[in-house]
Amino acid sequence: MTYEQTIMQIIVNGGDARTSVLKAIRCARKGNLEEAEQLKNRANESLERAHEIQTKLIQAEARGEKSEMTLLMIHAQDHLMNAMTIKDLSEEMIEEIKLRLALETKIKGGD
């Protein structure tokens, strides 16, 4: 795999993670918590793949294997950081949604 293809894998996996967590929030708002959890798991898997690739690139650089800093690499790092931030925020949002749903159920007399 070329250096550019490796970097593209960070972008693809970061993008997949971001998309998955945004879908998870939408599912949670609709009360579909099981699907939201599955989407969060998918996001975590994508982030793990992206982070593994990033770690390999960092380790290679630490061994003295210099790589060219390109706009593509900067974009990949930006993509990954955005995905990680959105994932963290989505977890907080989904927990708030769960609390709201539980309260609504309790108010309606379902608990």
What pLDDT shows up at residue 69? 85
- Residue 30: C-alpha distances to residues 17, 26, 36, 95 (Å): 20, 6, 10, 14
pLDDT band of residue 18 (cuts 50, 70, 90) is very high
Global pTM value = 0.88
Higher pLDDT, residue 3 or 24: 24
- Can you give the CATH number for the domain in which 86 is found? 1.20.58.80
- Report the b/e string of 44-53 with b at 16+ CB within 10 A: eebbebbbeb
Catalytically active residues are: 75
Mean pLDDT over residues 84-111, rounded?
Answer: 92
Q: What are the tens digits of pLDDT across the range 53-75? A: 999 999 999 999 988 889 999 99
Number of domains in the chain: 1
* 14: containing domain: 3-107
Distance (Å, whole) CA 96 – CA 29: 10
pLDDT band of residue 110 (cuts 50, 70, 90) is low
